[in-house]
Amino acid sequence: MTNHGYVLDVSAFQPQACYFDFWSKWKARGVKGGIVKLSEGTGWTNGYGAAQIAAIKHEGLTASGYHFSRFRGNTYQAVSEANLAIACARQMGLPQGAPLVLDYEERLGYRASNTQAAIAFLKCVKAAGYLPVFYSYSGMASLWDFEAIHAATGAVMWIAAYPTLAGVTSPAMGYFPGISNFICAWQFTDNFFGEHIDGSIDLTGVFTSMAEQKITSGGHLDDYHFEGGKLVINGWFASDKAAGKANHYVIITDDQGHEFARQSVALAPRPDVAKAFPDIPGAGQSGFSAKFDYTAVMAGKKLRVYFRYTDDPAGNGNATDYVSLADMTKSAAYLDSMSVSFGKQLHVAGWFASDLSIGKPNRFVILFDAAANRELQRVKVDSAARPDVAKAQSAIYGSGQSGFNAVFDYDASLVGHKLQIIARYSDEEHGEGKYVDYWFDPFQGPSMPVLDGKTEQTFVAHDIDVKTQKDGSLLVNAK
């Protein structure tokens, strides 16, 4: 085995890795590369990542990145996590062609589904122009099939196995976990030089001396959003395999491949892609954009979106595809205000948008007794324009008309009671049938309005009852 040098992997737990002298010290110990944690799951990102990558580059070392996965055997989530990792890699300055590692450590799930999810993640990495690498512990080999992963993606393996937890300065090669012929590096310690930091030996040069590779194919689903009732898809795809395929399509299917719609499109200029991927033929004219009718059969699904080059004018034939996912299961809502009027009314206002609201034109707001688990009142409401929500939540169907205002009867018996507001879309005029709800957080029924003894309140009533309370204040009931 050839030793191409040592590699450190760092995360937000090593903020000192933002400094040049951190890497210069390790460089003197034979370290030639750094692997930076970029992201985790579907939302966490490393706030130190950009500075850590910059420091690695400054010291003349090779920079790589890794994503700590949480998707287990969930292929849809794997693609979402891959998109986050790729976005972070670009934002944090990871060079094109650099290794981008899938860190797979959850000891759960089934081998077949775990393997397919890992393949989905690494295919996204490869399509985005980074080198796919799979990382895990040798003791977890029963939870994934690396040979299948390698065959499907070309990924190499970075394997972890610690012969000792004591501080070490070099690997004990007699303990090398040779579980595959495609191992590129071995993480042999989490206590390198006794400093409780992960150390690896690079066996093939992937993490330390890899020559920059030419990227000849890539794509990305940049954006999907709604304009009225239309689903708008934007992205790019370019490939050296597109030669002779003069027809361009955007196709939408479900996860079983059942097609919902397809559209022939003209390619749009993408000078940004040409700049980022100068070796991909046609990168400068690789933009895909299409607008589809959004239908009820699409709601609640994770849609496959295909960008396709083909030699068939109908969109079939000899084709080259880039595939991504569009999530049609999203909902969001916010309760903007709540107040009690002197007329014994509870006023609530807010918004609720949902991809599942299509085909459900009837809107209701429900006052719910959270303590007794029963509905108190139901009010049918009209949709209100919310251009602010449309701007912030453009990827959710109906966000531009998601506003609501509702008024409920309210009296002293509900003050301090545990209540809840439910917003609903329904296909039935009384609010039953097929519906989608949003349950806002429970709240304590607000107090009835009380005059402060200084201001005047004038209102019209048909009957009035006044009682003197023990503290001398007056309790007024009007109707």
Give the pLDDT of the chain (479 residues) as one tens digit per residue.
557 889 999 999 999 999 999 999 999 999 999 999 999 999 899 999 999 999 999 888 999 999 999 998 899 999 999 999 999 999 999 998 999 999 999 888 899 999 999 999 999 999 999 999 999 999 999 999 999 999 999 999 999 999 999 999 999 988 999 899 899 999 999 999 999 999 999 999 999 985 445 668 888 888 999 998 899 999 999 999 999 999 999 999 997 889 999 999 999 999 988 887 788 999 999 999 999 999 999 999 989 999 999 999 999 999 999 888 888 999 999 999 999 987 789 999 999 999 999 999 999 999 999 999 999 999 999 999 999 999 999 999 999 999 999 999 998 899 999 999 999 999 999 999 999 999 999 999 998 876 656 656 665 667 777 778 776 766 666 66
Distance separating alpha carbons of residues 261 and 396, to the nearest angstrom: 19
Report yes or no on whether pTM surpasses 0.75.
no
- Residue whose token pair is 């979402």: 80
What confidence score (pLDDT) does residue 479 get? 65
Amino acid at site 409 = D
* Residue of 79, 328, 76, 73 whose CA lies nearest to 226: 328
Dihedral-angle region of residue 433 (phi above 0 means left; psi in -120 to 50 means alpha; beta otherwise)? left
For residues 175 and 19, give the distance between their C-alpha atoms in angstroms, rounded to a whole number: 34
Q: 339 pairs with which residues across the strands?
A: 347
pLDDT at 219: 84
Give how far Cα 354 sits from Cα of 97, 232, 237, 259, Å. 39, 16, 29, 23
Q: Which residues of 332-345 are buried (b: 16+ CB within 10 A; e: fewer)?
A: bbebeeeebeeebe
Give me the pLDDT at residue 342, please: 72
Which pair of structure tokens corresponds to residue 155? 């990924």
Q: What is the pLDDT of residue 4?
A: 83
Q: By the 8 A CB rule, do 284 and 348 touch?
A: no
Q: Residue 172 phi/psi, 5° resolution?
A: -90, 95
- N- to C-terminal Cα distance for the chain? 90
Determine the pLDDT at residue 228.
84
H/E element, 247: strand 247-253
Q: What domains appear along the chain, each with residue ranges and CATH number?
A: 6-202 (3.20.20.80), 217-327 (2.60.40.10), 331-444 (2.60.40)
Give the pLDDT score at 122: 96
Give the count of alpha carbons within 13 A of 470, CB side only. Answer: 0
Task: State residue 211's pLDDT score.
Answer: 46
